[in-house]
Amino acid sequence: MVNGSGACALLVLVMTALLSGCGEGGFQGPENNTGGSTPPNAVLKRVGGTASKGIIDKGKVDIYALASNGAVGARLGGTTTSRFGQYTTSVNITGAALFKVSGGSYLDEATGEQRTIPAGAPLRAATTTVAGTMQIAITPLTELAVRAAGTSLIATRIDSANKLISKLFKVDILTTQPVAPTAGDFAEVGTGQQQKDYALALATFSQMVHDYYGDNLDTCLAAYGADLAGDSALSPELGQRFQSSLSAFLASPSNQTGVTDAASTNLANAGGGTMTLHLATAGTLTPGTSIYGMTVRLSFPAGATVKVADFVYRQADAQAVVASGVFPSDLFTIGVFQPASGTAPATLTVSIPQATGSPTGEFLTVVCDTPVGRTYLPSDFSVASFKAVDKNGLEIAGLRVEISQ
């Protein structure tokens, strides 16, 4: 058994060995009471978030209970957004809820015009539960999810719809809070890549509404909702429409974010799908030998990407690159994604050190983002380089990596 100091020393040794010979990448950087009385088991909970279609100033936020049959019930509370689009209030609730925002004013990202959210067409967001202190965004994407859930807002439909829209547009539409699409907000230390992606996705919708739907958001959302109703996937036409609008916004003088290339965002495959790869070592280990770490570099087929958490260091998102199988899932996994450049394919370099040894077998799960209308086989991905080391940091010969779906 390895003690604490021994484990630390072993990890240092393994990490040093992995770094010294596998190319670039590596270690860079219930139901609610719908009447007027408070439910007997309700608890006062603090909720807040950001309302944005463009940041909404002085928007009216209302929160409603949702019954187990999906019916909209009593108004639980409400408040007004700040000039930063933020709202916060306390509500008594034991389950699902519907959030609405209307009125106020926002700057349309595509046209630069001041606009308001009509009272008759509010933006909505639905959640299956309100637990403790929660942050819930209210945006055109959450409105699209509410529409995708259907007229009966039961918990299973809410959950499925929120996951679907989040998957399509590469951002958690509820819990991620979008920022204003400005260079200042994008440069803030506390602004994460998901928040930037969300802001750019909303700006893209504004551009798309302007270019294709006569500046009518409802018409745009109706088109996307109808498209998703059949098979929960976007058609190539609407997927490409989003991508064209993203390119148009990024090239527009209205774009004040400083981001001009979709490859510097996680939206390059927005509207598309995902593909999950499983990587496993194969071969024979000599008696007494275990794997204490490895570095592998994958080459991607054209168009495929992986979600990035930090585009400065190209660090892959921790939820997209996860140790699995014989390697414990809580291991610290370091992934670096390099987009395609010229004739060079996109690559993902992943390093995984550990303090205890493992046998051969599955060691990594990678969730790839894929373009609209494109599918791939595991054989479309290849191993550009691979290195596994033992507890002494020495390379283990005779192993290979197999890729499956």
Pair 66, 98: CB distance under 8 Å: yes
Pair 259, 249: CB distance under 8 Å: no
- Do 294 and 368 reside in the same domain of the chain? yes
State the Cα–Cα distance between residues 318 and 308, nearest whole angstrom: 9
Task: Look up the CATH number of the domain holding residue 76.
Answer: 2.60.40.10
Half-sphere exposure of 318 (CA within 13 A, CB side): 5
Longest CA span, the chain: 72
pLDDT tens digits for 323-357? 999 999 999 999 999 999 999 999 999 999 999 99
Domain membership of residue 136 (yes or no) is yes
Domain membership of residue 342 (yes or no) is yes
- Answer with the one of 219, 242, 264 that is the final residue of a domain: 264
- Do 280 and 325 reside in the same domain of the chain? yes
Q: Name the region of 240 (left: φ>0; alpha: ψ -120 to 50; beta: rest).
A: alpha
Domain membership of residue 223 (yes or no) is yes
Task: Look up the CATH number of the domain holding residue 319.
Answer: 2.60.40
Q: Where are the beta strands (DSSP E) in 141-300?
A: 273-282, 291-299
pTM for the whole structure: 0.87
Looking at residue 42, its pLDDT comes to 54
218 by DSSP, 3-state: which? helix
Looking at residue 111, its pLDDT comes to 94
State the Cα–Cα distance between residues 220 and 191, nearest whole angstrom: 29
Number of other CB atoms surrounding residue 170 within 10 Å: 23
Query: Which is nearest to 174 in space by CA: 129, 208, 209, 211?
Result: 129
- Do 282 and 399 reside in the same domain of the chain? yes
- Do 212 and 100 reside in the same domain of the chain? no
- Do 77 and 110 reside in the same domain of the chain? yes
- Do 188 and 124 reside in the same domain of the chain? no
- Spatial neighbors of 30 by CB under 8 A, at least 6 apart, are 41, 68, 94, 95
Domain membership of residue 260 (yes or no) is yes
Instruction: Report residue 67 as tokens.
Output: 């019954």
- Do 123 and 56 reside in the same domain of the chain? yes
pLDDT confidence bin for 51, thresholds 50/70/90: very high
- Answer with the one of 198, 233, 264 that is the final residue of a domain: 264
- Do 287 and 346 reside in the same domain of the chain? yes
Looking at residue 230, its pLDDT comes to 72
The distance from CA 346 to its chain's CA centroid, rounded to whole angstroms, is 20
368-388: average pLDDT: 96
Looking at residue 17, its pLDDT comes to 53
Domain membership of residue 37 (yes or no) is no
Query: Which is nearest to 269 in space by CA: 352, 189, 213, 337?
Result: 337
Query: What is the Rg, in whole angstroms, of the alpha carbon atoms belonging to the chain?
Result: 24
Pair 328, 342: CB distance under 8 Å: no
Looking at residue 233, its pLDDT comes to 81
- Do 238 and 356 reside in the same domain of the chain? no
pLDDT at residue 146 is higher than 80 = yes
Domain membership of residue 159 (yes or no) is yes
State the Cα–Cα distance between residues 77 and 62, nearest whole angstrom: 6
- Do 122 and 244 reside in the same domain of the chain? no
Domain membership of residue 10 (yes or no) is no
Domain membership of residue 22 (yes or no) is no
β-bridge partners, 75: 64
CA distance from start to end of the chain: 35
119-133: average pLDDT: 92
Overall number of domains in the chain: 3
Looking at residue 31, its pLDDT comes to 35
Residue span of the structural domain in which 394 resides: 273-404
pLDDT confidence bin for 20, thresholds 50/70/90: low
- Spatial neighbors of 244 by CB under 8 A, at least 6 apart, are none
Instruction: Report residue 20 as tokens.
Output: 């010294």
- Do 64 and 153 reside in the same domain of the chain? yes
- Answer with the one of 204, 231, 264 that is the final residue of a domain: 264
- Do 260 and 277 reside in the same domain of the chain? no
State the Cα–Cα distance between residues 245 and 125, nearest whole angstrom: 24
